[in-house]
A and B are shown apart, each in its own frame.
Chain A
Amino acid sequence: MTTDQVIFIILSVFTLGTALLVVTLRNLFHAALALMATFLGVAGLYVMLDAGFLAAAQLLVYIGAISILLIFAIMMTRRLMNTTESAFNSQGGASLVTAVIGFLVIAWAVSQFSRVLPQVVQKQVDMKPMSPDVIPYIQSSVAAMGQAFVDPNGFVLPFEIASVLLLAGLIGAIIVAWPKAEDEES
């Protein structure tokens, strides 16, 4: 066991454990806290994958913004926090079967990837998977990503569309949550 493997196993056990807590906990607030821990574990995995910028973005956007939004929504619907009815709906068996089938399908698809990927890699860059020889690409990854976002041959159009989408989401969220006139008086 190398250090990397030990860290990976700790991180994945942490991530999967907290993910299971999110699905099983009855208390909504605790589930939201567990979800924050899941996001933290995934951010750690991004660091292991040398995606430092995305790890920072994960911390800021998911843990900083999305989790806070979720907690706000939970508090606005607080009455459900101490409910006594079962947290699960009545389709346990069907859900389990569906999830297992989905798992098997994805696992099968991924196992087919490993047959395809080595050839792709040899065609593109000659390197050992997950070895330190790919570090140079990582060191310039933030700069390269920044350039790809504004490069006309890169992702400049999706980048601008994303900004329009964020604006639309902002306005849409305000309009949807805006109290109706009669609600304000009561």
Chain B
Amino acid sequence: MSEVTIEWYIALSVVLFTIGSLGVLLRRNAIIIFMSVEMMLNSANLAFVSFARYLGNLDGQVLVFFVITVAAAEVAVGLALIVAIFRTKKSISIDDLNLLKG
């Protein structure tokens, strides 16, 4: 096997997704959790693009384009939320965001 096959890309995508999910589960800071979510989106995009390449079909790339669009909107709104939360609570550690905890 001399070429870089799709399995390599998918394996990389799986590992990247797992690292991102570890970041979401482990970190305290809301911004880092955001970054990890972006990383997970990126790994899914990578899987989409490699499947699109493998199947010779552009639908995967089109979908990635939409994912990038939604990610941009999501980051803008999410960061606005984080800044608003910081302004009221003076903290963005998720351990302090327990208002909904009965």
Contacts and interface: CB of A to CB of B under 8 A. Distances in A.
B92 A124 contact: no
A38 B50 contact: no
Nearest to A13: B12
Interface string A53-80: 1100110011001100110111011011
Nearest to A147: B58
Size category of the binding interface on chain A: 35 or more
B26 A91 contact: yes
A180 to B, nearest CB: 9
A163 B97 CA distance: 32
Contact of B80 (A19, A145, A173): A173
A165 B14 CA distance: 29
Contact of B73 (A38, A76, A87, A169): A169
Main secondary structure of the interface of B (DSSP, over half): helix
Contacts of B25: 91, 94-95, 98-99
Given A35-B38, A77-B82, A169-B77, A145 B62 contact: yes
A70 B54 contact: no
Interface residues of B, number: 75
Given A22-B39, A32-B35, A35-B39, A15 B65 contact: no
Contacts, number: 243
Contacts of A110: 10-11, 14
Interface string A161-184: 010011011101110110100010
Interface of A: 2, 4-5, 8, 12, 15-16, 19-20, 22-23, 28, 31-32, 35, 38-39, 42, 45-46, 48-51, 53-54, 57-58, 61-62, 65-66, 69-70, 72-74, 76-77, 79-80, 85-89, 91-92, 94-96, 98-100, 102-103, 106-107, 110, 113-114, 117, 120-121, 124-125, 127, 129-131, 134, 137-138, 141, 144-145, 148-149, 154-155, 158, 162, 165-166, 168-170, 172-174, 176-177, 179, 183
Given A39-B42, A66-B38, A158-B66, 20 more contacts: A4-B3, A16-B12, A20-B19, A32-B35, A38-B42, A42-B42, A49-B52, A76-B83, A77-B92, A86-B28, A89-B26, A102-B21, A103-B15, A121-B56, A129-B5, A134-B53, A149-B62, A176-B84, A177-B80, A177-B83
13 contacts: A15-B16, A16-B16, A23-B19, A42-B46, A54-B61, A57-B65, A73-B31, A73-B83, A80-B29, A89-B26, A91-B26, A131-B3, A137-B56
Interface of B: 2-12, 14-23, 25-29, 31-32, 34-36, 38-39, 42, 45-46, 49-50, 52-59, 61-62, 64-66, 68-77, 79-84, 86-87, 90-95
